[in-house]
Amino acid sequence: GRAGRPQFDTSGDATLITSHDAMARYLDKLVRSTPIESNFIKQLADHLNAEVVLGTVQTIAEAVDWLSYTFLYVRMLKNPGTYGISDRAARDDPSLKARRTDLAHTAACMLERSHLVRYDRRSGSLQTTPLGRIASQYYISHSSMAMYSRHLRPNMADIDLLRLFSMSGEFAHITVREEEKLELGKLAMRVPIPVKESPSEPSAKVNILLQAYVSRLRLDGFALVSDMAFVQQSAARIMRAIFEIALRRGWSGLAKLTLDFANMVAYRIWRSQSPLRQFKNVPEIVARKLERKSDIEWARYSDLTPSDLGELVGVPKMGRTLHKLVHQFPKLELSAHVQPITRSILRVELNLVPDFEYDIKVHGYVQLFHVIVEDVDGQNILHHEMFLLKSTGAQDEHTVVFTVSIMDPLPPTYFIRVISDRWLHSESVLPVSFNKMILPAKFYPPTELLDLQPLPISVLAEGALTKLYSFNEFNPIQTQTFHHLFKTDKNCLICAPAGSGKSACAEFAIMRMLVNDPQGKCVYVAPKEETAANTFADWNGRFGSILRPGQVAQLSGETAPDLKLLAEAKIVVCTAKQWDAISRRWRQRKGVQAVTLFIVDDLHFLGGDAGPTLEVIISRMRFIGTQKQQKGDDKLVRMVGLSASLANAREVGEWMGVASKGLFNFSPKVRPIPLEMYFHSFDQSNFASRLMAMAKPVYNAVMRHSDGKPTIIFVPSRRQAQLSAIDLMTYHQSIDGETFLGSGANPDEIAEVAANLREPALQQVVASGIGFLHDGMVESDWEKLLHLYKTGAITVLVCPVDICWKIKIAAHLVVIMGTETFDGRERRYVDYAIADLLHIMGLASRQGIDTCGKCVIMCHTPKKEHLKKLLYDPLPVESHIDHYLHDHFNSEIVTKTISSMQDAVDYITWTLFYRRLSKNPNYYNLQGTSNVHLSEHISEMVETVLGDLEASKCCQLNDDGDVSPLNLGMIAAYYYVQYETIELIAASLTAKTKVRGILEILSHASEFGTLPIRQGEEKALRILARTLPSKLPDSAQFSDPRTKALVLLNCHFSRKPLSTDLRTDQKRVLCDSINLIPAIVDVISSNGWLKPALAAMELSQMVVQGLWNKDNVLMQIPHFTREIVGRCEAYQGEEPIESVFDILTLDDDIRNDLLRLPDDKMADVAVFCNNYPNVDVSFEVQDSDEITASDPVQIAVKLERDIDDEDDEEDDVNESDLGKVAAPLFPKEKREGWWIVVGDTATNTLLSLKRVNLQRSQKVMLEFMAPDEAGDHTLTLYVISDAYLGADMEFEVPLSLLPPSSSDEEGSSTEEE
């Protein structure tokens, strides 16, 4: 082809010199062109494995289809004879499907023999195995993998490992040439690890070349150099693959050895050489000198100074460079906190602190470490996971939480080893000693589910009660518990898996109360707001039909309205926090004392965030019940607990006062509808890569398990819900060409519904029968989607995990796509709460429809065994109240329940914490279980907590151990504010604090410390902060939840549009703020400062209306924009438009011209303007002529709402609607509150303050001490709204003070004496 030069020659000459027998072949090639044939069959098995791992091929049928895309198939059709296909076979099967099936089947059998796939010949399904994934990832042939499987041993030495490596199939074509033997023989003498085989063996050649490469030996032959390059390129890959196999098999020694070899090949250094050779700029001479000083251990190098190091190598100038390199070498400091959860599970919280100087040029943007837990012999790996150290977090402390199984008998030690993935000798070891470990007590076996005849609903005996149920008979769990709940008044605890119908069990107890006790009152408490809302919606519809209106009530969290609801209702639904707030002052509140039935749902949350509050209210209700019993009250408090299956249910039951007959603790396996569980693990250590890898398996799981029945998929985030829904739609349309619409669904009707949805992505997927929900969704879209799902029009619903408690629906199949979510506060991925997972699994059963439910859990491989253990076995519940005692102690000190140290100790004995202390002492950092240990531990804890409260000025301790509340503690308890927040408020406020200062103090409240920081949110917050009218403080960190709260409040006042997630968080911030601001006002008033108090009240108005205090008050009217307000300001009428009332007084034509709003929006404007408070204020100073200086002064103030007579006659104004605030931007219903303040503006002194809720009228008496100087004074009376801008009023209060009479003065002087 080279003969003949274009542009120069017209023809070319070529001469071919060859042997005579090859002549004919070359002539044939020159005369005739021969087609290129495919060699794909030789590598078919390996390529098929890659497709199985990728998820493209999951059955033999798909493999046959996949083969039709290859060049092999094209050539088989054209030239069947070459590929062993007879003419007859080609005629009978024109598409060669049978031949493709044979090829696929043969390849699958070969892969199965090598343990790379699981092949079910009957169904044709192909499933990958860990070995298959390793072979695909590291591009290793199935024959090599089979050989590794056969020959690998846990205690292999360097010699054995290199022999095995050299036998790999990858080197099958390497041969030993005659001229190489001499050089190979010489090299064999020089390499450090002996080679057993003769140098003439191909495997010996591979072994020698690898060692020669690492040793940096020079080679003479060109052929050897090329072979060495090939060996070296394959070496790191193969060593990494063997490392992965060793990890899978739990062989610690082999895993460390292969990882070392992979790094030795990468850096071309041996383990015996200096670790500093891994840096590029270390001269050979220096490295050799360091290696000669072998008496100094590598770990000691970091303690040496630059001059020491320079002296060590004999080159003083190199000292500083070496010192820098030593301190750039990756090194982690380890510490661990170990807690036994059960007798077989150990929870380890590992803290890693980087102890080296991170340099992106040296280390890159991320460093990878292997966290390995080894047994006492260092032979077996009990746990392995990856830890990523990013350059951005190189200075921070990092936490890795994992669980390890505990061996039986208990070993003396485990070793936690953290090894760098890329650096030799970068290894930290932490021994974890079990010498002083006390394992928790053994658990009692679960309650056996008896084989009883299911009870019909007619056993309720009351016609009205049987109508509450749509089914005919109770399930086995309800049947077994029925007698105890409905026929007795004894306490009861029912623990059963989610979806077992426990709510009906609670209803049995309510029905008994309704039938037997006309004065009875039931309180139902749930830890989650969503559960409480769903329960109230259900019971209000059902029990509401047999009770009077208002007898089924849900608490709102505002004390005054809640007390009214509690007094009137028979069934009260609330959250743990709401009941804690209202029951704190139970001695003064008759409604709390009147409770006769107390139902607590989701008791397994005792171990979660809401656990401490739940524990306190149950302990308090038990205490109230005991107090009533001692007083001889015949109406005792009946306790009914509902929970998921618990390992330590007996202790929880005893703590709640449940006798053994009332304890029903069923196993997690006992479900009314059986649940099939499938685990699918993924090796990808990167979270985003793992989710991408799950996309196709999720689709396959839906296709395989759903049978066209409803499916719910739970994903980690809102964004992922949208992506997964689109992926499902794409896969289904591209593979099957179909949609997920229900069988009876009308596509045109669904397309019409989809067109009316707000989100474009949602419109797209709903038409394909898939929906996705998230928390920030418009209410109408949410309702439409749930309706489509419940009616069976769409069969797949994708939801973020954080709304699992909000949705009250069931499915045939539930898929959990990943079990971790990002926590921005800790800057790491954290596991879902186990309670959330149990609840999600409970959704996988439709009562009365399915015979079994299905649940597919997709998780990270290291988490799989731990999850299985937690989900298959009942979980023990531990108390966390010891970390949250401060606020509960404070509230009890205020109510005088705790008045001494001894009272505090007694208070703790009522809790579950006290019972668990002796059962699992190590979990609570207790070193023994004797009475002395227990009493010392509790006394020390009480002293610490009370000491903290005293330091924050919430309470006062005297030398006798008596405790009394202080003002700050009373404010914290009354407003349900954390003690740290009150301490911060009191310390930060000054007499000159303005609105902006109060806003910063508010945003730093501890209540906002739990705001979630999602991935990528820091950047979004930084962008938002740039556009705000006020600059953030210099110390603001965007990874801090409190900075986020400040940004969200600023955005609320500026009315900035936010993303869905931030809008959800903003709602929470606003609801918490409206509770915190009155506490701030009270702290300011106790200091007697007027201007800061008025500023805080102004902030309350800003929060409710979403405006800055400088904005025009008209902006709070719905639909009013800056343009409309501009037109109103420019209006040249008889009177300018300055307030909301001015809008009402305008003529209709003028108003319509100024506002230019459609009728529906105009109606909203009218509602707001009519609701806007018009309050008449009258006041009178009592005995105004006789007040002397320094005497008490009383001012009687009367507030009266001005209601139009016409309105009163026409509408017969509903009292409950009076005082409702119209605030479209505030997330929940709010009632008007008014602050009545008397102050002296001249001295910035606040003299008296009262807060009232106003309906029609309200009388208030303000008391304060008159100024010290006699004469005329002018004070100011302020009446300030907590919800509306522009509704405030102020009046001058003239005071003429008489000089104190001489007798008064004498009296006062004697008093002073």
What is the identity of the amino acid at 1267?
A: P
Residues in the chain: 1313
pLDDT in tens, 1195-1253: 888 888 877 655 554 445 556 667 788 888 888 888 888 899 998 888 888 889 998 88
Cis-peptide, bond into residue 1118, ω within 30° of zero: no
Is the pLDDT at 304 greater than 90? The verdict is no
Is the pLDDT at 333 greater than 70? The verdict is yes
Average pLDDT, integer, range 374-388: 90
Strand partners, 1175: 1201
Write the CA distances from 636 to 489, 505, 517, 597, integer angstroms.
Answer: 9, 20, 12, 8
Q: What was the pLDDT predicted at 224?
A: 87
pLDDT in tens, 1007-1046: 888 888 887 788 888 888 888 888 888 778 888 888 999 9
pTM for this entry: 0.82
Average pLDDT, integer, range 1089-1105: 91
Q: What was the pLDDT predicted at 257?
A: 94
Rounded to an integer, what distance in angstroms lies between the CA atom of residue 588 and that of residue 569? 18
Q: Return the sign of the alpha-carbon dihedral for residues 1051, 1055, 1057, 1061.
A: positive
Reduce the secondary structure of 193-237 to three states and give it as a string: CCCCCCCCCHHHHHHHHHHHHHHCCCCCCHHHHHHHHHHHHHHHH
Is the pLDDT at 37 greater than 50? The verdict is yes
Check if the beta carbon of residue 1050 is closer than 8 Å to that of residue 1028.
yes
pLDDT in tens, 190-244: 999 999 888 889 999 999 999 999 999 988 878 888 889 999 999 989 999 999 9
- Measured in degrees and rounded to the nearest 5, phi and psi for residue 1289 equal -135, 150
Residue of 1069, 938, 1052 lying closest to 1008 (CA atoms): 1069
Is the pLDDT at 1311 greater than 70? The verdict is no
Of 164 and 1153, more confident: 164
Check if the beta carbon of residue 1254 is closer than 8 Å to that of residue 1199.
yes
Strand partners, 380: 251
For Cα atoms 618, 493, 554, give the angle at the middle one, nearest 5 degrees: 55
pLDDT in tens, 95-123: 999 999 999 999 999 999 999 999 999 88
What is the identity of the amino acid at 1167?
A: V
Rounded to an integer, what distance in angstroms lies between the CA atom of residue 580 and that of residue 568? 19
Q: What was the pLDDT predicted at 1307?
A: 46
Is the pLDDT at 353 greater than 90? The verdict is yes
Q: Which residues contact 1180 (CB under 8 A, 6 or more apart)?
A: 1195, 1196
% of the chain at pLDDT higher than 70: 98
Q: Which residues contact 152 (CB under 8 A, 6 or more apart)?
A: 164, 242, 245, 246, 249, 251, 254
Rounded to an integer, what distance in angstroms lies between the CA atom of residue 962 and that of residue 950? 12
Residue of 626, 337, 662, 624 lying closest to 488 (CA atoms): 662
For Cα atoms 531, 535, 539, give the angle at the middle one, nearest 5 degrees: 175
Kind plus residue range of the DSSP H or E element containing 429: strand 427-433
Question: String of b and e for 1022-1057 (b: at least 16 CB within 10 Å)?
Answer: eebbeeeeeebeeebebebbbbbbbbbbbbbbbeee
Average pLDDT, integer, range 1083-1089: 90
Is the pLDDT at 1184 greater than 80? The verdict is no
% of the chain at pLDDT higher than 90: 31
Average pLDDT, integer, range 328-347: 90
pLDDT in tens, 387-401: 989 888 888 899 998
What DSSP state is assigned to residue 1100? H
Residue of 674, 618, 392, 408 lying closest to 493 (CA atoms): 618
pLDDT in tens, 723-739: 999 999 998 888 777 78
Average pLDDT, integer, range 503-513: 90
Rounded to an integer, what distance in angstroms lies between the CA atom of residue 1197 and that of residue 1179? 4
Mean confidence (pLDDT) of the chain? 87
Structure tokens at 1166: 């009218």
Residue of 1046, 1000, 1013, 1050 lying closest to 1028 (CA atoms): 1050
Is the pLDDT at 490 greater than 50? The verdict is yes
Q: What was the pLDDT predicted at 48?
A: 95
pLDDT in tens, 891-934: 989 888 888 888 889 989 889 998 888 888 888 888 877 888 88
Average pLDDT, integer, range 967-978: 90
Rounded to an integer, what distance in angstroms lies between the CA atom of residue 63 and that of residue 100? 8
Rounded to an integer, what distance in angstroms lies between the CA atom of residue 426 and that of residue 488? 66
Which pairs with CB-CB distance under 8 Å and at least 24 residues apart come from 37-43?
A: 37/75, 37/79, 37/82, 38/70, 38/71, 38/72, 38/74, 38/75, 40/70, 40/71, 40/72, 41/72, 41/83, 41/103
Kind plus residue range of the DSSP H or E element containing 675: strand 675-682
Beta strands 571-575 and 552-554 are parallel
Q: What was the pLDDT predicted at 1305?
A: 46
